[in-house]
Structure 1
């Protein structure tokens, strides 16, 4: 990997961590977006797309709730994809490496948030003095710290780590690589399970078993199950739109009957 490519990946890491913090919500921090961008930078878009889609399944349930700092999807996605491309690492093994890398990014995120306490006090002091420019400087100071930390993490991992990872991978016993492949097969299911834990309740649990029946018992493809799910969602949406109209019509009928009796 060239120095310029490592710099571009570092910038991508900084921009990705800014998503939802500075620029709004453009989904740049999602593996589905980061994977193809890494592939574009490193000249292997196909592997980038495969890695991005695979890692999205693993990390789609990772969300930050309250003050909790979840594993970092940005550094994990970028470096795992970069290693898969530059080191010739098997995609299954690269996916298995994504979570340890994301955990390292989580530690970095915790440290950044700790140091950002300085900018919080800086902003409070500026607000008390009515110094709006001071508040702005404090906000940008915290944002810059995030960018710099994740730029350094991704850049150093990409530029210094690719050769180290290549040598490391060549010495890994085949049994360990096979274990990585087995683990990577379980990780997408784990990611979906985490997401289901957030979304599933008694009202929509039945739809999960409908999907399982279609794919596991009837042999319907994933695309076919998605189309059936889309049709069900559309029917439910139309019924939801018609419910208020039906209720309103029912209320008018009742009121007309009462007026007739009076």
Structure 2
């Protein structure tokens, strides 16, 4: 059973990679399948523990919610985080905090595989250039699509399968034998990393300092007022509408005052 599960999860890992075009390009692959929240649900479905998959997926998603990949360069391989890391965490019965720490570690290691894949593509680029010079359309097609995807499959499917199939038992034994203070440290770090991800997102989204009040209001609404997400979203929508009209009216008032001053100055000159 674990063999089939490892194959399915590793196949999803390949389909969600940044360089895989088969899942509707990067829209269906990288920007959908490789989101930890989506992968957590899919892995939980395959492993028979959907609730735990979603819980871990949400926690991991929060860490990388503000991550960008300029020019294809990334500080951590989100695809490795989304599949082998979350699957390993579920199979080893790791707590959410430990799972997040485990995922971030594997994500950093995954960048090595991603960089190796990018370097290996130079081999296919040279072959494609020679195919163009020779006018060989079939060779060009192979060296620009099938050859690179073969390497991509090796760098995605194979490591993911090996980690899930052979590493689950090892990880579970390691966590069980690990001293309690190390588990506490991993849990603490895993709990802090999602908060760090949210802060990074807010520094990008918030343009003016007073907008932090809106975030604090949402925090108070959930923690102290016990609002559920639907109620909080409705309240946030009302505040957003009021804020929008307040800003718009302020802008219109400023424009009207400017135009009135201009008319008065013209009358005085006349």
Q: Within 5 Å, which residues of 2 pair with 1:3-82?
A: 3-18=3-18, 21-22=21-22, 23-26=25-28, 27-82=32-87
Structure 2 equivalent of residue 207 of structure 1: 211
Offset at residue 7 of structure 1 (A): 1.1
> TM-score scaled to structure 1, two decimals?
0.81
User: For the aligned residues, what is the CA RMSD?
Assistant: 3.3
Cα distance in 1 between the residues matched to 2:56 and 2:187: 14
User: Is contact 2:6–2:165 with CA below 8 Å preserved after alignment?
Assistant: yes
Q: How far apart are residue 153 of structure 1 and its match?
A: 1.4
Partner of 2:126: 121
Is the 1:79–1:158 Cα contact (8 Å) retained in structure 2?
A: yes
Query: CA separation in 2, counterparts of 1:238 and 1:78?
Result: 44
Task: Sort the Cα spacing of 1:145 and 1:194 in 2 relative to 1 into closer, same or farther, 3 A.
Answer: farther
Q: What residue number does 1:86 align with? A: 91
Q: 1:233 to 1:216 in 2, by over 3 A?
A: closer
* Count of residues paired in the alignment: 250
Could you list the per-position Cα deviations for residues 131-175 of structure 1 after superposition, in whole angstroms to 9, with x for gaps in the alignment? 444343223222332222111111010001011111111111111
Q: TM-score, normalised by structure 2?
A: 0.78
Map 1:1-262 to 2 at 5 A: 2-18=2-18, 21-22=21-22, 23-26=25-28, 27-140=32-145, 141-202=147-208, 205-216=209-220, 219-220=224-225, 221=227, 223=229, 224-234=231-241
The structural deviation recorded for 1:21 is: 4.8
- Structure 2, unmatched stretches of 5+, are 257-270
| Greater shift in the superposed pair: 69-78 or 171-180 | 69-78
CA distance in 2, matches of 1:99, 1:130: 46
Q: 1:236 to 1:147 in 2, by over 3 A?
A: farther
For residues 133 and 56 of structure 1, what CA distance do their matches in structure 2 show?
Answer: 41
Give the whole-Å Cα distance in 1 for the aligned partners of 2:138 and 2:202. Answer: 44
Offset at 1:238? 7.6
What stretches of structure 1 of length at least 5 have no aligned partner?
Answer: 251-262
Aligned to 1:254: none
